[in-house]
Amino acid sequence: MTSTAHPPKPTTDAWGIDASWLDALDEEHTVAPATIERLREVIGTPPDDLAERAPIVARPGDPLEVDEAEVACEDGTTRHVDGELPEDFPLGYHRLRTPDGRDRRLIVSPGRCWLPEGWRAWGWAVQLYASRGAGSWGIGDLGDLRTIREFAQQQGAGYVLVNPLHAVAPTAGQEDSPYLPATRRFRNPVYLRIADVPGADSVDTEADAGRALNDGELIDRDAIWALKRRVLQRVFDAGSATPEAEQPFRDWWWHQGQPLMDWATWCALADEHGPDWHEWPAELRDPRGAAVAAFAAAHDREVAFHAWLQWLLDVQLRAATEGITVIQDLPIGVAGGGADAWAWQDVLAQGVSVGAPPDAFNSLGQDWGSPPLVPWRLQAADYEPFVQSIRATMAGAGGLRVDHVMGLFRLWWVPSDGSAADGAYVRYPYEDLLDIVALESHRAQAIVVGEDLGTVEDGVREAMAEHGILSYKLLWFEDDDPAQWPAEAMAAVTTHDLPTIPGLWTGSDLAEQREHGLGTDEELERGRASLLAHLGKVAKRATPAQAVEAAYRRLAGAPCTLLSATLDDALAEERRPNMPGANERPNWRLPLPVPTEELAAHAGVQAVAGVLAEGLQPAKTPAKKKPSAKGRTSKKK
């Protein structure tokens, strides 16, 4: 049987563009004809034979659109299929060959993400960069994540949720937002703990200068990265004198293949020519061109350095997350001048960016600055850009949070010569994408959460539930009592883009919004009153700490699979990490007020942990087992 939860597409044209859209109040808006024509030009026309060579995404037992074929499986075996996949067909990425010589990718998915039956847990949501401690150099790092993981385990937490850890350009002018990385496949070396780098004890690490960076009121990524890079280069150069010291790294690098080579080469090119590949010499803009190959050969040590940084990150992340699920965040896209956009420029749309239409929270709409993937080009690329991004973000941690999960169904495309309000929705092959997420989740044994906040069209949440992707419920947004929320969800009070409980309670967040001109006094007061009403019964003279405890006590009544608390709330931090639209504000640069080593003993942290632990069995890392096939819905192709 096929799924019945399909988002409606009554006005979608052959390019996947919706001619109209509904806002949060169910009011219909018509897209300007000029916008549709512009997006059609950007999308282009797929080849006539795309349907015959695009990947087939299916599940064991599904009928196929080919009558007879040989399948070269990942494990090296060959299997014959005749009209449908056998129930025992192996999951994975295979090649299907028909008698007439056609060859295409066959992706076989379990259809549902990995989630241990009956498992529930509470955990901490952490902006890692903000969580700096005595061993940090001005920014929270993977050593701090290890400390947080250890005290979270001691408190009985079952997981930690962290901001995106993806890499940005290795140059000056470091990008502050974790949601606009240069790549979704590799991590940011600014998170390395220098003292834990092999060989660091044999060189001058300038540790005093590093620790002095903690004295800054704001996180200065440029200063931090300049110092860390200088020291890391010193360690790398010293290690190259002893080939045996490099062997573990070289072995790891060999197994990473072309993607890491592309990333490391892009970094070396960015060091020399700047962080936007569009501004490089023309011959270097083609990642498969002879000029790039010659550059990599002539700069092999520089390329190796950037690959080595990724090896260090892999080692330190695995040590930091050992024994607990760490849910990593997947941004909706990447910087247009970055490494992924360079490597996959034939798959990404040029001249448009991803955003959001006008809504109750932003009357002008939003432009997030990331170029979108062209749906048919993504299919022609065997979905590989999407597969690699999902797999890399899950790696070594056990969990994934998909930012703006609605983007797997449709994305708001904004033409570069217009405002965010001048965009339109473009549809994606969401069933295939969700099945790929389920396959990667199954392989990594990783829990998946979809951030489905904002305007969500009918059918999206049903499709998520069918695929075992947890929904996201916020106390700030839900009118129902938390006790009425669904079990298949992560429950939280707030997010990095919304007020902290202390900031809301004291009114300081409202004052900051007013300072940055984010609405009229009436609009801001009305918004604050709405959020306060969701706190429930809290005495007017309550302290911020008391308001925090009351909010999380209410949240603890939710039957959701995951209960989430922010360290910002627990520490009575009044400033939210990010205030959208406040461009003069130091977004993503605010450190937490308590050092990492002192978090476990903090009264607010202990109080929130105690509240969420009530009613939950002691949370343990979920056992590594295969997901149940019960409830799987087949999908005809």
pLDDT along the chain (637 residues), means of 10: 49 92 86 95 94 95 92 96 94 95 96 94 98 97 98 97 98 97 98 96 96 97 98 90 71 94 98 98 98 98 96 96 96 96 96 87 80 97 98 93 96 91 95 98 97 91 97 95 96 96 98 94 94 91 96 96 98 97 95 98 98 70 42 38
State how beta strands 489-492 and 471-474 pair. Answer: parallel
Distance CA 302, CA 233 (A): 10
DSSP state letter for 123: E
Distance CA 449, CA 441 (A): 11
- Paired residues of 84 in beta bridges: 63
Q: Which two tokens stand for residue 317?
A: 């992340």
Q: What angle do CA 60, 61, 65 make, to 5 degrees?
A: 95
Distance CA 588, CA 496 (A): 9
What's residue 25's pLDDT? 79
Residue 534, C-beta contacts closer than 8 angstroms, at least 6 positions apart: 475, 476, 477, 478
- Report phi then psi at 443, rounded to 5: -70, -40
Which CA distances in Å does 597 have to 19, 134, 145, 149, 421?
A: 54, 7, 11, 12, 46
Residue 241, C-beta contacts closer than 8 angstroms, at least 6 positions apart: none
Distance CA 5, CA 147 (A): 43
- Report phi then psi at 495, rounded to 5: -130, 180
State how beta strands 424-427 and 447-450 pair. Answer: unpaired
Distance CA 379, CA 442 (A): 22
Our CA dihedral for 228, 230, 231, 233, rounded to 10 degrees, sits at 120
Distance CA 408, CA 422 (A): 21
What's residue 366's pLDDT? 86
Q: Which two tokens stand for residue 435?
A: 């099945």
Q: Are 129 and 179 in contact (CB under 8 A)?
A: no
Orientation angle between helical segments 142-155 and 603-613, nearest 10 degrees: 50
Distance CA 180, CA 366 (A): 14
Residue 481, C-beta contacts closer than 8 angstroms, at least 6 positions apart: 557
Distance CA 214, CA 223 (A): 11
Q: Residue 352 CB: number of other CB atoms within 10 A?
A: 28
Residue 590, C-beta contacts closer than 8 angstroms, at least 6 positions apart: 130, 218, 219, 573, 575, 577
Q: Are 114 and 447 in contact (CB under 8 A)?
A: yes
Residue 101, C-beta contacts closer than 8 angstroms, at least 6 positions apart: none
DSSP state letter for 198: T
Please tell me the number of Cα atoms within 13 Å of 526 on its side-chain side.
7
- For the stretch 466-487, what's the b/e string if a residue is b when 16 or more beta carbons lie within 10 angstroms of its beta carbon? bbbbbbbbbbbeeeeebeebbe
What's residue 361's pLDDT? 62
Q: Which two tokens stand for residue 138?
A: 């001005």
Q: Are 400 and 390 in contact (CB under 8 A)?
A: yes
Q: Are 290 and 213 in contact (CB under 8 A)?
A: no
Distance CA 338, CA 355 (A): 18
- Paired residues of 359 in beta bridges: 362
Map tokens 């005495």 to a residue. Answer: 539
Distance CA 617, CA 156 (A): 9
Q: Residue type for 408, please?
A: L
Strand order across the beta sheet in which 159-162 lies: 447-450, 398-402, 325-330, 159-162, 121-126, 562-566, 489-492, 471-474
Helix (H, G, I), strand (E, B) or coil at 121: strand
Of 426, 381, 382, 385, which Cα lies nearest the Cα of 408? 426
What's residue 67's pLDDT? 87
pTM: 0.93
Q: Are 163 and 178 in contact (CB under 8 A)?
A: yes
Q: Which two tokens stand for residue 154?
A: 């001691």
Q: What percent of the residues of the chain are helix, what percent strand, and what percent coil, each to the nearest 5?
A: 40, 15, 45
Length of the chain in residues, anyone? 637
Q: Which two tokens stand for residue 54?
A: 């695009």
Please tell me the number of Cα atoms within 13 Å of 430 on its side-chain side.
24
Q: Which two tokens stand for residue 262?
A: 């592309």
